Chains A and B, each alone.
Chain A
Amino acid sequence: MAEITAATLTTADGKPLKASLARAQARSRRRALFLVLPLLVFILVTFIFPIGQMLYRSIHNDAFSSNMPNLSAWFEATEPGTEPDEEAYAALAADFVLLRENRTAGEVGTRVNYDLSGARSLFTSTARKANGLEPPFKEAIIDADKDWDDPLLWQAMRSASSPYTLNFYLAAVDLTRDESGGIAAADKERQIYVQLFQRTFVLSALITFLTFVLGYPVAHLLATLPLRYSNLLMIFVLLPFWTSLLVRTTAWIVLLQQQGVINSTLVATGIIGDENRLAMIYNQAGTIIAMTHILLPFMVLPLYSVMRPIPPSYVRAARSLGASSWKAFRSVYFPLTVPGIAAGGLLVFILAVGYYITPALVGGASGQLISNLIAYHMQDSLNWSLAAALAAILLGVVLLLYWVYDRLIGIDNLKLG
């Protein structure tokens, strides 16, 4: 019997098989890369790059440093906490001339205003007087507005003078900086974000649980009915899925409002009095009801796709071996559906964490989520850096949860269909 070793294995043209195989595989890998290249570029350009750029804004804001070069240089040369001297005021006066020329006083003022309210008009009004400023500048500027003497203002300008800052992250978790630059809790009546993050995650978990409780029996029914019936029923799951989000949300307003269909029916049938109409909308209840309904298909579909291929004979076998129906369900059927629950739960939860339109429309005051505040800072207050910091924290927490989830259930144990 001839001895065959790996070294002697060659292809027909005499090359070592191993090298030839590696070459062939490299070629097909290259070809595969070319096939996915358009997708890769698309994702980079439309997804990774804009998100990265937005997240960059949460630590980078150069509105102050790029428009106030002289004062920024003074801040860089001095220790934090240094009393502003004549040199500092001279730099400030020189920058004001620049601000006036470039019409950027509002931009700088707005940046400082993020940390200290009232700074915006201080900058714009002083910039209007910039050409009249004469040495000694300290007196001249404090004469123009006595607020320039405020140590809090100088602290705010110092922290704004560096284009890179973590202040927006501090603000996003209800912290701020005090006069000496140390970290302190924000005013009690302005603390909002931590509470909203908590609410967002608690409500999302609750909504995920509700979609599971409601969706599991439906998916089971769909999976066990004969195809011609289940296809018909499937339409009832898919139809709302295809309907516009706004339409579905507005439909809930019609149903749930105090003069709405449900309340009026309850009053007409005498179940509740006219003065005790239920408040089911413009509060947390509205957010939970509407979002549970809207996200339900995302739970039903993965569950269905996992349940459908489970042979009914498994449960029958368990029963014939003496298991009670509960025992058969718990030990045989349920474990087989876990990948569907995992997929549905993850989908619903992550979608719920970022939901924005539905809570805005039906959530009233108590049903607002963190995404509503992100939208507020993007659209109304125009403080994009804070919006980016909030979004980055949200993203970070979701990734963390995803990691924990992977540890507990295992991502490879997840089945979407």
Chain B
Amino acid sequence: MKKTLILSTALVGLAAAASAQELTIISWGGAYGASQVEAYNKPFAEMKGVTVNMVDGDNPATPIKAMVEANNVSIDVADVELSDAVRLCDEGLLEVIDHDALPPAPDGTPATEDFVEGALFSECAVANIVWSTVYAYDASKYSGEAPSTMADFFDLERFPGKRGLRKAAKTNLEMALMADGVPAADVYDLLETDEGVDRAFAKLATIKDSVVWWEAGAQPPQLLADGEVSMTTAYNGRIFNAAISESKPFEIVWDGQVMDFDLFVVPKGAPHRDLAMEYIAFATDTQRLADQAKWISYGPARLSSGPLVGLYQDGKTEMGPHMPTAEANMANALVNNFEFWADNGTELEERFNAWLASN
């Protein structure tokens, strides 16, 4: 009798454990993933009494199609780039998110007006941060003149050394054109034409032999630290973390930065759809977005979060000047044109791969 009791209690316990809600989020890992765990996941788990799991991916958008088509969706929330969000939404692979249900700013401004322009463009996604692709160099390698413009990145004579670039056409083509003297405002108009694309590839070809290609966001700081490259493009937050919290001699060049959003999406058929929606509403409220900036130098996607951004977790670094959106950093900045990439991404990436494979 006693034995049965113990057994049945154990079973009830098991059943309770199994029914406790679990939320699985896929994001980019590294310092960025850690900032989301600290700012969103831990408080949400505590508030709702649920378990929040974090999975890392090179690009969290990639597994979504396979999961949805196989009817085997194992993640509830994914953190993706805007062009991927638009494309996945167009293909009907994402749940629609009710933007009106997002919490308003503390002063009562509705969410739809509080988010920066473009952050709510896709009906399937809500942006959480503004990040940018910049290039950074190892200051110990350039004791004399230091690189300061996008053109310097492509100048192997004045600034010798290997370069790191992401193995993709996106952002590389834009940066190549800006380095070739095209103003940020004209970049996408030019890329719409064949001449513009040819010109971008020709510029990339000038440094092709000196390039080490990276794929995951954690690679470029590593390549810089190992001395494999002397300059590399990278996500600004990764370089900030290496420079500030690991005291590496890395300097960011903001000229020619390409800004982009990271957005939360819910794959169609997510196992905990409602909880996922609650999570997104929670994580993208004013305070949480401002909190995230305590852990990494990405700008919050809400206007009302800006004034709440304070010090880095070390308690002494002011985060403001390290944000891509800081005024001094915006002098020659480009905002990623998601529509252009959703349309032309396939063709340009194909051409980029062919270009990469040719000798």
Contacts and interface: CB of A to CB of B under 8 A. Distances in A.
Given A364-B213, A365-B356, A120 B342 contact: yes
B356 A368 contact: yes
Interface string B197-226: 000010000001001110100000000001
A383 interface: yes
Interface string A180-220: 00000000011110011001000000000000000000000
A190 B354 contact: yes
B66 to A, nearest CB: 8
B80 to A, nearest CB: 12
B346 A257 contact: no
Contacts of A382: 65, 87, 91
Interface string A85-114: 000000000000000000111110110011
A224 interface: no
B351 interface: yes
Given A118-B343, A120-B342, A381-B346, A192 B353 contact: yes
A114 B226 contact: no
Interface string A104-136: 111101100110011011001000000000000
B346 A383 contact: yes
Interface residues of B, number: 38
Nearest to A124: B90
Given A259-B228, A368-B357, A107 B350 contact: no
A113 B346 contact: yes
Contact of A113 (B162, B212, B343, B357): B343
A82 B309 CA distance: 62
* Residue from A103, A124, A192, A376 having most chain B Cβ neighbours under 10 A: A192
Given A106-B92, A282-B212, A366-B359, A189 B354 contact: yes
B91 A259 contact: no
Nearest to A383: B346
Contacts of A373: 353
A118 B344 contact: yes
Given A103-B92, A192-B350, A381-B349, A121 B343 contact: yes
B90 A107 contact: yes
Nearest to A109: B90
Contacts of A104: 92
Interface residues of A, number: 38
B124 to A, nearest CB: 10
A195 B357 contact: yes
A339 to B, nearest CB: 37
Contacts, number: 91
A324 interface: no
Nearest to A171: B350
A379 interface: yes
B347 interface: yes
A50 to B, nearest CB: 10
A380 interface: yes
A103 B358 CA distance: 40
Contacts of B226: 257, 259
Interface string A240-273: 0000000000000000011100000000000000
B162 A258 contact: yes
A191 B343 contact: no
A182 B119 CA distance: 44
A67 B350 CA distance: 27
Given A257-B226, A379-B62, A120 B343 contact: yes
B63 to A, nearest CB: 8
A196 B351 contact: no
Interface in A110-166: 110, 113-114, 117-118, 120-121, 124
B90 A105 contact: yes
B332 interface: no
A67 to B, nearest CB: 10
B339 interface: yes
A381 B348 CA distance: 11
12 contacts: A106-B87, A106-B90, A110-B87, A120-B342, A121-B339, A190-B351, A365-B213, A368-B356, A378-B66, A380-B62, A381-B346, A381-B349
Interface of B: 59, 62-63, 65-66, 87, 89-92, 162, 167, 201, 208, 211-213, 215, 226-228, 339, 342-347, 349-351, 353-359
Given A117-B347, A258-B227, 13 more contacts: A106-B92, A110-B90, A120-B90, A120-B342, A190-B351, A360-B215, A366-B359, A379-B63, A380-B59, A380-B349, A381-B350, A382-B65, A382-B91
**4 closest pairs, A vs B, by CB?**
A106-B90, A192-B354, A117-B347, A379-B62
